[in-house]
């Protein structure tokens, strides 16, 4: 019994180690293709999804659930070349999820060709951290509202902003870098009618005296020891535009579903349609969850049932042995003792003397 348990546990640990190694070794591939004067970026977890006849390669590096797109060493050249006209395709990052959860995304290339809306980040339901501070990026007001688990954002002040940025319930902090001398003013509001949502307003203002501007949703004791002044979001009234209630790209992004998404649920700004479109075919990392994991669970269930049956049989055998030891299983009969019976002794039919 202990031997079978050890074998079962070893099998389970080996399967978990294999799955962890598989996700760690997952690669990512990015490329761009030309649409008029725009260069549209698209990324995937499989090289076959980016044919070289259509896409020009862009560096993509992945370690576990962290994805980095672009090369920081060539940013100065890229910002002065045609790469300055690059943007992300609608759903252009969704195929990264096929290689496993994307929790942290770092963009190391300029994306200022046009304002990126929610469709650019659709299909990344587990994204928690977004770093876009090495190069400027153009963000539409509700572009990040479709990321329900986004907690931290680091962005450059040289980016192109709409009037505001809306964040979902998981938002914790935003850091803006390179703000020294920028004529911008930032105000963070926690919506009084929907306290779970926060809005960063971007307004014209006097030149900034600091290079880094940081906002936290909640104040905490660590702010006193921080070298960077930390501001908190103040309670205020938010309009329907701030809550993105009429933002069509956000509605489309929320209706887009990836089969392997976060198991948790969270309150969203908009209620997605009840019949979302079918998601792309699962590959690589998702194949583990859809094929190998159910089979593994079946094997574990059968093994547990077998172990339980064996233990019950062993327990019953020990119980039966104890009953026999204490004389409860059988009643011992003395064969030498006379037997009492109401029946007369039988007499053979041919014994006439006995009958008389």
- How do residues 183-198 score in pLDDT, each as one tens digit? 999 999 999 999 999 9
Residue 290 has pLDDT above 90, yes or no: no
Residue 4 lies in a domain: no
89 part of a folded domain = yes
Q: What is the rounded distance in angstroms from the CA atom of residue 28 to the CA atom of residue 95?
A: 9
Going by the DSSP 8-state scheme, the letter that residue 180 receives in this structure is T
Predicted confidence at residue 314, as pLDDT, reads 84
Show the CA angle centred on residue 46, arms to residues 42 and 50, nearest 5°: 45
- Please indicate, yes or no, if residue 11 is contained in any of the structural domains: no
> Stretch 97-111: mean pLDDT, rounded?
94
Tell whether 335 is covered by a domain: no
**71: its two tokens:** 């090369």
Rounded to the nearest 5 percent, the helix, strand and coil shares of the chain are 30, 25, 45
Whether 334 is in a domain gets the answer: no
Tokens of 74: 């060539």
Question: Average pLDDT in the 72-89 region?
Answer: 75
Q: What is the model's pLDDT at position 311? A: 81
DSSP β-ladder status, 38-44 and 29-35: antiparallel
Domain count, the chain: 1
Of 227-236, 278-287, 290-299, which has the strongest mean pLDDT? 227-236
- Tell me if 296 is assigned to some domain: no
Provide the residue range defining the domain that includes 128: 17-288
Is residue 182 pLDDT above 90, yes or no?
yes
């Amino acid at each position: 019994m202990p031997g079978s348990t050890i074998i079962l546990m070893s099998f389970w640990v080996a399967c978990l180690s294999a799955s962890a190694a598989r996700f760690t070794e997952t690669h990512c591939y990015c490329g761009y293709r030309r649409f008029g004067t725009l260069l549209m970026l698209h990324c995937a977890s499989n090289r076959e999804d980016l044919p070289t006849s259509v896409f020009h390669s862009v560096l993509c590096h992945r370690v576990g659930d962290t994805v980095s797109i672009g090369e920081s060493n060539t940013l100065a050249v890229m910002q002065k070349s045609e790469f300055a006209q690059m943007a992300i395709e609608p759903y252009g990052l969704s195929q990264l999820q096929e290689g496993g959860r994307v929790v942290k995304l770092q963009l190391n290339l300029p994306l200022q060709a046009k304002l990126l809306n929610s469709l650019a980040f659709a299909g990344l339901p587990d994204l928690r951290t977004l770093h876009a501070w090495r190069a400027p990026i153009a963000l539409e007001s509700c572009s990040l509202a479709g990321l329900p688990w986004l907690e931290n954002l680091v962005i450059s002040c040289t980016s192109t902003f709409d009037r505001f940025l809306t964040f979902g319930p998981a938002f914790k902090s935003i850091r803006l870098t390179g703000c020294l001398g920028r004529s911008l003013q930032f105000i963070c509001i926690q919506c009084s009618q929907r306290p779970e949502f926060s809005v960063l307003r971007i307004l014209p203002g006097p030149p900034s005296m600091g290079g880094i501007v940081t906002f936290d949703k909640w104040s905490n004791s660590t702010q006193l020891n921080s070298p960077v002044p930390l501001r908190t979001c103040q309670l205020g009234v938010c309009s329907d535009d701030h809550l993105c209630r009429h933002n069509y790209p956000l509605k489309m992004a929320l209706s887009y579903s990836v089969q392997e998404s976060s198991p948790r649920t969270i309150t969203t700004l908009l209620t997605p349609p009840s019949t979302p479109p079918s998601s792309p075919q699962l590959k690589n990392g998702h194949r583990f969850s859809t094929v190998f994991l159910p089979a593994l669970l079946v094997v574990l269930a059968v093994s547990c049932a077998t172990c339980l049956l064996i233990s019950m049989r062993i327990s019953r055998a020990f119980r039966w042995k104890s009953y026999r030891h204490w004389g409860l299983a059988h009643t011992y009969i003395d064969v030498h003792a006379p037997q009492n019976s109401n029946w007369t002794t039988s007499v053979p039919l041919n014994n006439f003397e006995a009958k008389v």
